[in-house]
Structure 1
Amino acid sequence: MDFHSKEEHLSSTIHIVSERKQEGYKPKSFYKLTSEHIGYRILKNNMGWNEDGGLGKDEQGRSTPIKVSIKQDKLGIGNKVQKSSTQTVSSPTTPKLSKRQKLYLKHTLKKREERIKEIVYK
């Protein structure tokens, strides 16, 4: 394979794979554990973990944390999310108010507003 530049060679798959096969290769970590993390403290203090080595008896295991993502669809297995094109403002369980109830509610809210204004602008 012919490479026109050093950058081309360094970014090639062949170079990256051969580099990873070398003895003592450690992948670059974009996420570093610090002593502020509870997981770090548990591994270090309770399990005798060495920060420079990986997990496991011979320190051959994972040396960087697994990326975590927050699960948004918490509906359960097999449940399909129904996406509606319109949004509903009121739920079907909201009871309908009679004219008398509406008037009472309006009057109560008006009194409450007046009391708030009186307290704020005293």
Structure 2
Amino acid sequence: MAFIPKKKKKVKKGQEAEEEDQLIRRVKLPRGRETLGLLDQRLGASRVRVRCLDGKTRVCRIPGRLKRRLWVRPGDIVIVEPWEFGGDEKGDVIFKYKPIQVQWLETNGYLKKLTDMDAF
């Protein structure tokens, strides 16, 4: 009788990332002019409507370097950098938080102002 080894299961790229997501390594926080925001609506053509912590609603674009890697949905928490010209109405999405990172932000009080705005 010959010994036949069992086949190993192939792990897809997404499954590897899911296991690593459960650990919080480092959470990126807004710097300088950047602000946190809640994504309200996808507008198409790499544009989204975001409610920012500074109380303004901006139409933000997803830059080309992030366009294919950054998939966003309404309700996601993102970092927005307002434009120098028309910064009250327009900006760029810099980063999207993963669910475990959003929990960390909530427990440390970074999203407290955002939940107060949801009451309206």
TM-score range relative to shorter protein: under 0.3
Q: Which protein has greater RCO, CA pairs closer than 8 Å, 6+ apart?
A: 2
User: Which structure features the higher share of helix residues?
Assistant: 1
Name which one, 1 or 2, has greater alpha-carbon Rg: 1
Give the number of the structure whose residues are more often strand, by fraction: 2
